[in-house]
Structure 1
Amino acid sequence: MAAMAAAMAAALRGPGRRFRWRTQALAGGVRGAARGVAAGQQNYDLLVIGGGSGGLACAKEAAQLGRKVAVVDYVEPSPQGTKWGLGGTCVNVGCIPKKLMHQAALLGGMIQDAHHYGWEVAQPIRHDWRKMAEAVQNHVKSLNWGHRVQLQDRKVKYFNIKASFINEHTVCGIAKSGKETLLSADHIVIATGGRPRYPTHIEGALEYGITSDDIFWLKESPGKTLVVGASYVALECAGFLTGIGLDTTVMMRSIPLRGFDQQMSSLVMEHMESHGTQFLKGCIPTCIKRLPDGQLQVTWEDRTSGKKDTGIFDTVLWAIGRIPETRNLNLKEVGVNINPENQKIIVDAQDVTSVPHIYAIGDVAEGRPELTPTAIMAGKLLAQRLFGQSSDLMDYNNVPTTVFTPLEYGCVGLSEEEAVARHGQEHIEVYHAYYKPLEFTVAERDASQCYIKLVCLKEPPQLVLGLHFLGPNAGEVTQGFALGIKCGASYAQVMRTVGIHPTCSEEVVKLRISKRSGLDPTVTGC
């Protein structure tokens, strides 16, 4: 065994730290080493690889159930050198800083409205990026510290190391200093999430572009910005950049918000256009060059006409999708199957991979929504199944979410397109309304894109299949209705629900006009 441990250590120090053995070649002997025989090796009931929302939730739940748990987490700096602390994408470069910067933009709009309500606001109104960024970054750092404290309080061992499998029960973690740590566990959960995708085939993309990994940690304003992509990340970032007064352009290859209801997505884009965000539709970038003054010259092509054009920007933000963090885990060597097309880990309904005691949750798992709350719940339920005598599975149906564009879009359940594809147009009834939030009236705001639709089965009692809400506080509105839809609400039950007046959410329980009727769905009174 001592000889085997020495051989293992030598292999770990080999060129590029590539692990050269196969699990099957070491059957029996290495399994013994993986159970604590190797010198300096630490053994756990549960090892979680990844310190994001899902991994932390799983680790803390397992520790609460009395198990010996470790978490390994390491943030590879972005190509621009941005790095952050414990907590994963949501805390550091996703939901939290995004919502705070979205709020900064909303406040700008409220200041513009204020004089209509009698407030005397000095003009011109200016935004200080440095002050906002410092406040947001300080809050994120406090969350990083809070996660460290929570792990410590629950006696979860935390390792800031980059981990990779050496056999099916053991990982080797490498610290920034180069120190190696061997960890083994009865159960291993992969919760490494994903990172933004770069279009490496485009000249200058990697050298001069940034992503959502960087935008929230910029010390200076990004200035005139080109956002490439039409995902929710792209539109959310473009929305708050426009909202704080920056010249912002979105370059989109095809449709906005792929995977979401396309009528709602088009309205989101229309609202952004009417409030200052510029769009280059049907275009793809082909080259980025840095000019002598530091600005970026971007060349792009119109996909329809083939015509090329150029523009000058201070910042280019790539928001063209994400890729799972699986490439450096050495999964193939231990028999964990991945989808070769997207590199995500294939799991079953119980989050089990092709290796029975290795699991995957969150964004890294195939077929899972890339949403923080689903990863958290999946992590907790997995820990309860492993150590708490539970059999409860994560239910991915009717998961609500919100896109935090300037006019927020909340949804739960099926899009209209999905409902039609699943049940047929003749079996679907869609109730809808254009409405005007009361707070928009005195401020004389345009409410052209404030819209709600309820997608239902046509046959009584008309089961609700999906709700789509575009308007202020969409997340707060959608969360409440999500419970009813999760519980199998019918259209009749929604109509018997008393609204809270005057609110935007009451408009949902007043949806009386169907698309099929052809009547004008514009709300004209209380």
Structure 2
Amino acid sequence: MNSFDVVVIGSGPGGYVSAIRCAQLGMKTAIIEKYSTLGGTCLNVGCIPSKALLASSHHVDEIKHFANHGIELPGDVKIDLEKMIARKQAVVDQTCGGVKFLMDKNSITVFEGVGSFENATTINVTKNDGSVEQISAKNTIIATGSKPSSLPFISIDKERVITSTEALKLKEIPKHLIIIGGGVIGLELGQVYLRLGAQVSVVEYADRVLPTMDGAVSKELTKVLKKAGMKFYTSHKVQKVERNGDAVLVEALNAKNEVISLDGDYALVCVGRRPYTDGLNADKAGVKITDRGQVEVNDHLQTSASNIYAIGDVVRGAMLAHKAEEEGVMVAEQLAGQKPHIDYNLIPGVVYTWPEVAAVGKTEEQLKAENKEYKVGQFPFKALGRARASSDLDGFVKILADKTTDEILGFHIVGARAADLIAEAVVAMEYRASAEDISRMSHAHPTFAEAIKEAALAATENRALHV
């Protein structure tokens, strides 16, 4: 029986990064992945492929405005969806191949099959041909991720009633795509197909899309997407999803208890994700699963079995690839006797629509609920020279700071390159910077990052310079 210091079950961003860090720290490491490619949901059917399609569809959207730049194109723009999907897959294949390279580079043994516990130190790897190989693990890291959730009355046929996985490989552009759920995944994929010519309707149970983010952010993105043609049905509870041939009917109850009906050719179910522990046999190892299906862990990500840890989507907290990575590194370094830490308040969240949305720290709604005295500094992108030069005028930077100490409590951005700009906010908050600290730092001109400096100035005695 092969023996390892650490065995990681699952090769998503949390799992493979954890395995690399364990190997760097001198541990004999193995990773188990049930699929034929490494990278988990994120690289195969999540973050990477969706960003590839967002990039392709963004080009389509940009072409529509070329005339404003004095660029004339002969004839109409033609979209080859099959080629677009093929490019997306090439990006996925290259990225997953890169993970395989990193496993080889770091001498990490890869087992293809389903990993399940025989006991706390013995793991069965069931391969595709049905054969089973047993390996011994001094320590195990569970990184099995998550799967799309649904509603009890919805029958997902993966043809017309689909999840995000199927939405990444459609063979045609929908005529009318009905999206159930106005969260990150729904809005990103909705914008992809909106740009390609589909009618897109979003049905959301909450009173606004992106309900966990700052209200001002939600309002701004809704305004932009509505202008582009996306339709929203907020405060609507879906009651029925029915397929009839190539048609899909969605019925929902609005705030007035009226039933509204939407007819489309595809329904995309985006109502969240659930932790995935199927086939793990956690009970055989003494690992407890919570009522919500999550692996129960302590502050050190240690399960009820002292030599078994769990990270990423399968444990509590935000289901984010970079959160999983941080947890994977933390567990590896703990096993090596180090004392790492994670400040979960400083894990940024990003929506890769255009304009992008990014946030870290507290929302204004949270600060109000905590009765925290705060001040707000906000600056619009349309006041930036760089934004005007590139016609990226939508959005703003919003900084929330403690009213007394001026320490930054929350950072919220809607606008071009928000996904990259949020890193400055994370650094500032990690070192407990004040709004005035940022306002006194030089920001290159002309850049989108100047909006951060201006928002900080606005939070510091309302002295923004360019509004």
Q: TM-score range by the shorter chain?
A: over 0.9
Tell me: CA distance 1:222–1:46, structure 2 relative to 1, closer, same or farther (3 Å).
farther
Q: Deviations over 1:472-507 (max 9, x none)?
A: 111121112321221111011112122322222202
Distance 2:359 2:13 in 1: 22
Q: Pick the aligned partner of 1:100 from 44, 47, 52.
A: 52
Question: What is the aligned residue count?
Answer: 464
Match of 2:320 in 1: 371
* Residue in structure 2 matched with residue 190 of structure 1 by the alignment: 142
Q: Residue 375 of structure 2: SS of its match in structure 1?
A: strand
Which residue in the other structure is 1:415 paired with? 363
Residues 204 and 287, structure 1, Cα contact 8 Å, conserved in 2: no
1:391-434 Cα shifts (integer Å, max 9, x gaps): 21233231223211221111121111222333x25x21111123
Which among 379, 391, 398 is matched to residue 433 of structure 1?
A: 379
Aligned equivalent of 2:68: 116
Q: Tell me how far apart the structure 2 counterparts of residues 491 and 381 of structure 1 sit (CA, whole Å).
A: 30
| 1:262 aligns to 2:208 (yes or no) | no
Match in the other structure for 2:10: 50
1:510: how far off? 1.6
1:62-82 CA deviation, whole Å, 9 max, x = no partner?
22233221111114xxxxxxx
- 1:459 is displaced (CA, Å) by 0.8
Go from structure 1 to structure 2 and tell me whether the alpha carbon gap of 1:398 and 1:467 turns closer, same or farther (over 3 Å shift).
same
1:157 aligns to what?
109
User: In 2, distance between residues paired with 1:398 and 1:444?
Assistant: 31
Query: Structure 1 residue 392 and structure 2 residue 343: aligned?
Result: no
Please report how far the alpha carbon of residue 516 of structure 1 lies from its aligned counterpart in structure 2 after TM superposition.
Answer: 10
Are the equivalent residues in 2 in contact too, given 1:434–1:522 (CA < 8 A)?
Answer: no
Please tell me whether the aligned partners of residues 419 and 455 of structure 1 are also in contact (alpha carbons under 8 angstroms).
no
Please give the secondary structure, in 2, of the residue aligned with 1:397: helix
The answer for the alignment partner of 2:329 in structure 1 is 380
- Distance, in Å, in 1 between the alignment partners of 2:344 and 2:414 is 23
Kindly state the Cα deviation for residue 188 of structure 1 after the two structures are TM-superposed.
Answer: 0.5
Q: CA shift at 1:439, angstroms?
A: 5.7
- CA contact under 8 A between 2:205 and 2:238: conserved in structure 1? no
The DSSP-based 3-state class of the residue aligned with 1:467 is: strand
Determine if contact 1:116/1:443 at 8 Å carries over to the other structure.
Answer: no
Residue 454 of structure 1 corresponds to which residue in structure 2?
399
Residue 494 of structure 1: aligned partner: 438
Distance 1:104 1:204, change over 3 A: closer
Identity %: 27
Whole-Å Cα distance in 2 between the matches of residues 123 and 441 of structure 1? 28
- Distance in structure 2 (CA, Å) of the matches to 1:196 and 1:515: 43
What is the aligned partner in structure 1 of residue 192 from structure 2?
240
2:20 to 57, 60, 65: 60
Deviation per residue, 1:32-84 (Å, 9 max, x gap): xxxxxxxxx33211111101111111112222233221111114xxxxxxxx7
Find the partner of 2:33 among 73, 76, 81.
Answer: 73
Asked if 1:128 is matched to 2:76, the reply is no
For 1:383, give the aligned amino acid. Answer: A
**TM-score (structure 1 length as normaliser):** 0.82
Q: Report the CA distance shift for 1:251/1:205 in structure 2 as closer, same or farther (over 3 A).
A: farther
1:370 offset after TM fit, Å? 1.6
Q: For residues 301 and 220 of structure 1, what CA distance do their matches in structure 2 show?
A: 26
Distance (Å, rounded) in 1 between the aligned partners of 2:283 and 2:139: 18
Alpha-carbon distance between aligned partners in 1 of 2:272 and 2:465, rounded to the nearest angstrom: 36
Q: Deviations over 1:299-332 (max 9, x none)?
A: 3122323333433322211110000012321223
- Cα separation, 2, equivalents of 1:417 and 1:396: 18
TM-score, normalization: structure 2?
A: 0.92
**Which residue of the other structure, out of 273, 291, 306, is the alignment partner of 2:257?**
306
Are the aligned partners of 2:13 and 2:39 in contact in 1 as well (CA < 8 Å)? yes
1:347: Cα distance to partner? 1.3
1:145–1:495 Cα change, 3 Å: closer
Compared CA separation, residues 481 and 285, structure 1 to 2 (3 A): closer
Determine the structure 2 residue equivalent to 1:361.
Answer: 311
Q: Matches of 1:354 and 1:270 in 2, distance apart?
A: 47
Does 1:290 find its partner at 2:243?
yes
String of CA shifts for 1:274-314, please: whole Å, max 9, x gaps: 111111222233333333xx422313122323333433322
Q: Using the alignment, how far apart are the partners of 2:362 and 2:22 within structure 1?
A: 34
In the superposition, relative to structure 1, how do residues 477 and 444 fare at CA in structure 2: closer, same or farther (>3 Å)?
closer
Q: Residue 204 of structure 1 contacts residue 289 of structure 1 at CA under 8 Å; is this kept in 2?
A: no
The reply to whether residue 322 of structure 1 matches residue 273 of structure 2 is: yes
How many Å separate the matches in 1 of 2:158 and 2:460? 46
Measure how far apart 1:106 and its partner are.
Answer: 2.1
Is the 2:125–2:134 Cα contact (8 Å) retained in structure 1?
Answer: yes
**Cα distance in 2 for residues equivalent to 1:210 and 1:150:** 33
**Correspondence list, 1:85-96, <5 A:** 85-96=37-48
Give matches, 1:166-181, under 5 Å: 166-181=118-133
**8 Å contact from structure 1 (residues 435, 523) kept in 2:** no
* Contact 2:180–2:267 (Cα < 8 Å) also in 1: yes
How large is the RMSD of aligned CA atoms in angstroms?
Answer: 2.4
